[in-house]
Amino acid sequence: MTGKILKIKAAKRVQRKRRIRSKIAGCATLPRVSVFRSNRYISAQAINDEQGVTLASVHSKTLGLRANKEGAEKAAAAFAKTLKDAGINEITFDRNGFLYHGVVKAFAESLRANEIKF
């Protein structure tokens, strides 16, 4: 792809991200889980937006996983364990401008399978 097309794709993602973030926010009892996907890795954070604090996080690089569906499912299982240890059972899911498809969807479905409600 040319540089111009990549800039357009990045701008469209930022537009989607801003539109989504205008509608959701996290708090201590219902944190926002923001998911970031790159071509190599996937990461997620549970964020309390009222205080601007990260409550829990996971990164597939530290777990030795890649950004494919299987890696996303394993990362989500580890993240669910971290959330439960922090006393969090319910979240608000922020797909961070990415389409709810593929890796992001596998991450969300695995969180649901590990008894995290949203």
What contacts 88, CB < 8 A, 6 or more positions away?
31, 46, 55, 56, 116
Q: Is residue 118 part of a domain?
A: no
- pLDDT of 113: 97
Using CA atoms, how far residue 9 sits from 12, 68, 84, in Å, is 5, 21, 36
Q: Is residue 21 part of a domain?
A: yes
Q: Is residue 102 part of a domain?
A: yes
Report the number of distinct structural domains present in the chain.
1
- pLDDT of 1: 77
- pLDDT of 28: 86
Q: Would the CA dihedral through 117, 107, 58, 21 be positive or negative?
A: negative
- pLDDT of 11: 96
- Domain with 26, as residue range(s), is 3-113
Q: Note down pLDDT in tens along the chain; length 118 residues.
A: 789 999 999 999 999 999 999 999 898 889 999 999 999 999 999 999 999 999 999 999 999 999 999 999 999 999 999 999 999 999 999 999 999 999 999 999 999 999 999 8
Q: Is residue 98 part of a domain?
A: yes
Q: Is residue 32 part of a domain?
A: yes
CATH number at residue 107: 3.30.420.100
Q: Is residue 31 part of a domain?
A: yes
